[in-house]
Amino acid sequence: MDLIATYQNNIQNIYNRIKDLYSKASPYFDQDVQLPDLQVVKLNNPTDLLNRVVYQWTIACIKQLQMVMNNVVGDFNNNEIIDEDIGDTSELRLWLPERLVVDDIYMLKLQNNFDECNELLDKLNSYTEEYMNY
């Protein structure tokens, strides 16, 4: 298991999906929308060890991911690309990896974060497709 690659690959895949989603939805935005900064937090760790630097980086990555996802939700809510029955899309609250042990529980919670982001992007994509069909 390569923890650093897991973070980098999953977050980059989510950011790529956001770029695609904005390309698809931007013609339907009433307001000018800036694509969020979609750069994975850079890791400045001269070793391959899981140390304090990596621990702090993992938390920074998840905080940034949550901020980006909630900015996306805000853009879609502000432009009323929402579920017509439910209304505004709720913001995400992701699990912060504050555990010092990288075990099965840690990896499950981390995967749940990535799954929640992807499920939210699926919803926003479906709202966009509904908008396209009007």
Overall domain count for the chain: 1
**pLDDT higher at 84 or 66:** 66
Long-range CB contacts for residues 23-28, cutoff 8 Å, separation at least 24: 24/125, 24/128, 24/132, 25/76, 25/79, 25/81, 25/124, 25/128, 25/131, 28/79, 28/81, 28/128, 28/131, 28/132
Query: How confident is the model over 96-134, as pLDDT tens digits?
Result: 999 989 999 999 999 999 999 999 999 999 999 998 887
What range does the domain containing 102 cover?
Answer: 3-132
